[in-house]
């Protein structure tokens, strides 16, 4: 093969390689659940190489000036696919990347938006919660996803919310709100005033079992307030988009209230944590996806929380 032919061959190989990369960055599937509000439905599962960590609902809201991203998914690759989905909808810049809380399936795509130079927005308690868990989260991500975890990193908030704050996207105001410790100690909701759409983060699980990594008592208090918000559309952290309201919230509240009631009863009877884990809610599995993975953990968390109650 002469030199010219060799170069042509190399050029051809590069062309095929870049076409492959372009395909690898397919856009995440999103659905417009309310005007200007686009949500992606994550898999109802734990993170696996097969789902690439795409297990949380994520999305974005478009104003006349710019775009706010709400959670970025479980990996850099998912964040990039979300960014591609945004570009298919609007050329407007991404000015805010909001994280609803610290969990890996909601934050590890943040790095995909670095070059957009957005403000990264989260609860005033988010950065510390992430820093405390950073090593464990990175290790777990690499163990669970292997090569698919590549390039994922934790990017803490550059703008924090404590109580209530607003973001202006141009012709569209988002009200952000932090809550009493519930799913975690850094939960944040996003409410689009214009379409009355509430993005709950993991304060609402639909179909998938709620996971307590904060406080079952605090979560029940938060639910009572969230119910009063009476949104027209809802994006839960996990499960079907725009679920029936308030029935979806009621189902979650019932699970958490039963959990608290049964754990308190076990403590009162003098049961050990292991006895409580073995007896509480064991026949409840039919109702919730991922019950076998998280229910026992919830009993353990609730026991540790309620043990010291008067």
Residues that bind Zn ion (CB under 5 A): 103, 202
CB 186 → Zn ion: shortest distance, Å?
Answer: 10
Nearer to Zn ion, 105 or 305 (CB): 105
Nearer to Zn ion, 17 or 46 (CB): 46
Nearer to Zn ion, 51 or 279 (CB): 51
Nearer to Zn ion, 202 or 242 (CB): 202
Nearer to Zn ion, 54 or 202 (CB): 202
Residue by residue, what is the 3-state secondary structure of the chain?
Answer: CCHHHHHHHHHHHHHHHHHHHHHHCCCCCCEEEECCEEEECCCCCCCCCCCCCCCCCEEEEECCCCEEEECCCCCHHHHHHHHHHHHHHCCCCEEEEECCCCCHHHHCCHHHHHHHCCEEEEECCHHHHHHHHHHHHHHHHHHHHHHHHCCCCCCCCCEEECCEEEEECCCCEEEEEECCCCCCCCCEEEEECCCCEEEEEEEEECCECCCCCCCHHHHHHHHHHHHHHCCCEEEEEECCCCCCCCHHHHHHHHHHHHHHHHHHHHHHCCCCHHHHHHHCCHHHHHHCECHHHHHHHHHHHHHHHHCCCC
CB 278 → Zn ion: shortest distance, Å?
Answer: 26
CB 31 → Zn ion: shortest distance, Å?
Answer: 21
CB 26 → Zn ion: shortest distance, Å?
Answer: 25
CB 238 → Zn ion: shortest distance, Å?
Answer: 8
CB 183 → Zn ion: shortest distance, Å?
Answer: 6
Nearer to Zn ion, 36 or 201 (CB): 201
């Amino acid at each position: 093969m002469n030199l010219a032919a060799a170069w042509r061959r190399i050029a051809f190989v590069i062309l095929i390689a870049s076409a492959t990369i372009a395909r690898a960055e397919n856009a995440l599937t999103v659905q417009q659940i309310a005007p200007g509000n686009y949500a992606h439905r994550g898999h109802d599962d734990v993170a696996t190489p097969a789902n690439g960590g795409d297990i949380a609902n994520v999305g974005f809201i478009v104003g006349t000036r710019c775009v706010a991203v709400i959670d970025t998914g479980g990996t850099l690759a998912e964040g990039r696919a979300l960014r591609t989905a945004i570009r298919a909808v609007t050329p407007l810049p991404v000015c805010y990347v909001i994280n609803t809380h610290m969990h890996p399936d909601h934050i590890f795509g943040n790095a995909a938006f670095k070059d957009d130079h957005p403000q990264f927005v989260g609860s005033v308690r988010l950065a510390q919660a992430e820093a405390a868990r950073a090593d464990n989260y990175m290790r777990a991500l690499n163990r669970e996803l292997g090569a698919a975890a590549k390039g994922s990193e934790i990017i803490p908030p550059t703008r924090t919310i404590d109580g209530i704050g607003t973001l202006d996207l141009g012709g569209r105001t988002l009200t952000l709100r932090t809550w009493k410790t519930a799913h975690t100690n850094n939960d944040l909701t996003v409410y689009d005033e214009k379409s009355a759409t509430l993005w709950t983060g993991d304060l609402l699980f639909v179909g998938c079992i709620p996971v307590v990594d904060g406080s079952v008592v605090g979560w029940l208090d938060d639910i009572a307030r969230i119910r009063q918000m009476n949104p027209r559309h809802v994006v839960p952290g996990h499960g079907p988009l725009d679920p029936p309201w308030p029935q979806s919230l009621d189902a979650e509240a019932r699970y958490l209230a039963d959990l608290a009631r049964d754990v308190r009863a076990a403590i009162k009877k003098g049961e050990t944590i292991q006895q409580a884990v073995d007896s509480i809610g064991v026949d409840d599995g039919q109702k919730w996806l991922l019950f076998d993975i998280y229910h026992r953990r919830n009993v353990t968390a609730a026991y540790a929380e309620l043990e010291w109650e008067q």
